[in-house]
Amino acid sequence: MPADTPAYTPAYTIDTVTDLVQPHQVHRDVYTDPEVYRLEMKHLFANTWVFVGHDSQTPNKGDYYTTQIGDQPIIQVRHSDNEIYVLYNRCPHKGTKIAIDREGNTGKFFRCPYHAWSFKTDGCKLAIPLKKGYEGTGLEETVSGQGMKSVGAVKNYRGFIFARLAEDGIGFEEFFGDSLSSLDNMVDRSPAGRLEVAGPPLRYMHKCNWKMLVENQTDTCHPMVAHESSAGTAVKIFEDMDWPADKPKPMAMEIIAPFMSPYEFFENMGIRTWPNGHGHTGVHHSIHSDYSAIPGYFEQMVDAYGEEKAKQILGENRHNTVYFPNIMIKGPIQQLRNFIPLGPDKTLVESYIYRLVDAPDQLLARTAMYNRLINAPTSMVGHDDLEMYERAQEGLAADGIEWVNIQRLYEDGEDFDHEAVENGTTERQMRNQFHAWVKFMAPQPAPAQAEAAE
């Protein structure tokens, strides 16, 4: 390096980045600064349990699916022991990506396309061409000599695959706690207690920071404003049709009309927050509460669970459940949205839908319609949100104010280490997420005793 070239000094380090979060506001740099984004990829997405995929995406031995955790390319694969493994998607030799297709079946092993090193589907080294060239070199004692590296920990929870990149850290149950009740409710809506992914997700690129999308999932003060031009117009047109009162409302209108519910509806809906950044809207009711009954479905649920349990499962209609750091699920319509960061101002959104095994097909039809109407690149409603995200990302460049306010219904000394239920329009869940952001951006202490495999 020439003597007159100063060494690069990052604007933020892991010791200073948490200063960007205050109890009632966050600095704009958490959404815009490349160094903050780099630290998120290195620490936040390594220390937390992040969604990978569903086991029905890899139903057969040798089936694989490629995705990423933060900026790390990974492979979900079903091994010969019928278990799901999550491996870093790179060859230990020269770093070449092993799989470039989103999904496929690799048979009994992976083969690197560069030098033909091959690996079992659990990542273990299988064979190396001209192996004698490594005799006496010590390759077997190196990391490269062991095979494809697995992530730190993996958990298959009722079909949903989560992974923690870090070797040591918080356990799955401790991280999610009682928030898993939302996933339980979604899966329990199947008479068989199982879900299956229904095709590939809808993918939709957003020119904004990933956290904006996560925050918006529990922002209940925007639907009647931001969606007035789409949902509001649809409701007005429907009202002008003078639809007969004794005729069932079209499925599309059942889906879209609740977006125009008044503030009081969302206030009374309630928000529940859990430790580690998780939370959900729709404690008492939600925009999904009044969908028409599907003939025969309740009877199937009663046969499977008994009447009392069936009523309990179907009576829970949570709106959006955020699983920190970057997914949201809708239990009543079996949907999951994955907000994948691609840069400080670029996010890929994947919207999955799932089939309730042994349930009527009309339920999947409604779920698919919701996904198309609300979350597709051709959506009526989703473009309203996209416009707001991109305006916010651009507006944060303005120097007049450097802080983003998350103060609605704020109270001094808020406790995020215990479950709480609040007014449905509070921004407490946003503050909860940033409390978790600070926690998991910091280096995590190693457990006193090595944690057993999840």
One domain for residues 232 and 268: yes
Give me the count of residues in the chain: 454
pLDDT at 451: 46
Assess whether 218 and 316 both reside in one domain: yes
Based on the fold, state whether residues 365 and 260 are members of the same structural domain: yes
pLDDT value of residue 174: 98
Same domain, 152 and 189: no
CATH of the domain at 135: 2.102.10.10
Helix ranges (H only) for 270-330 are 297-305, 307-315
Instruction: For residue 18, tell me if it sits in a domain.
Output: no
Q: Do 91 and 231 belong together in one domain? A: no
* pLDDT value for 210: 98
- Residue 433 inside a domain? The answer is yes
Q: In what order do the strands lie in the sheet containing 72-78?
A: 84-88, 72-78, 63-69, 103-105
Distances from the Cα of 146 to the Cαs of 81, 106, 121, 125, 267, in angstroms?
Answer: 19, 20, 13, 6, 55
Bridge partner residues of 340 (DSSP): 348
Token pair in block for residue 397: 């460049």
How many domains does the chain contain in total? 2
Same domain for 293 and 423, yes or no, is yes
382 falls within a domain:
yes
Residues 271, 153, single domain; the answer is: no
Burial of 416 (0-12, 13-18, 19+ CB in 10 A): buried
174 within some domain? no
Residue 30, amino acid: V
pLDDT of residue 4: 55
Residue 55 has a pLDDT of 98
Residue 147 lies in a domain: yes
Whether residues 117 and 199 fall in one domain: no
335 is a domain residue: yes
Give yes or no: residues 108 and 222 share one domain: no
Instruction: List 279's β-bridge partners, or say none.
Output: 273, 322
Helix axes 297-305, 307-315, angle to 10 degrees: 120
Of 157, 176, 202, the domain-final residue:
157
Same domain, 247 and 392: yes
What gap in Å lies between CA 25 and CA 347, rounded to an integer?
Answer: 23
- The amino acid occupying position 65 is Y
| pTM for this entry | 0.94
pLDDT tens for each residue of the chain, 454 residues long: 445 555 556 688 988 999 999 999 999 999 999 999 999 999 999 999 999 999 999 999 999 999 999 999 999 999 999 999 999 999 999 999 999 999 999 999 999 999 999 999 999 999 999 999 999 999 999 999 999 999 999 999 999 999 999 999 999 999 999 999 999 999 999 999 999 999 999 999 999 999 999 999 999 999 999 999 999 999 999 999 989 888 888 999 999 999 999 999 999 999 999 999 999 999 999 999 999 999 999 999 999 999 999 999 999 999 999 999 999 999 999 999 999 999 999 999 999 999 999 999 999 999 999 999 999 998 989 999 999 999 999 999 999 999 999 999 999 999 999 999 999 999 999 999 999 999 999 977 766 554 444 4
Note down the domain range covering 426.
Answer: 184-441
Through-space distance between the first and last CA atoms of the chain, rounded to whole angstroms: 46
**Any idea what the Cα angle at residue 302 is, between residues 371 and 249, rounded to 5°?**
40
Q: Is residue 286 part of a domain?
A: yes
115 falls within a domain? yes
Predicted local confidence at residue 7, as pLDDT: 55
Residues 262 and 194 in one domain: yes
- Indicate the residue among 157, 175, 192 that finishes a domain: 157
User: At 261, which CATH number?
Assistant: 3.90.380.10
Same domain, 118 and 199: no
| 187 neighbors 181 (Cβ within 8 angstroms) | no
The confidence score (pLDDT) of residue 8 equals 52
What pLDDT score was predicted for residue 237? 94
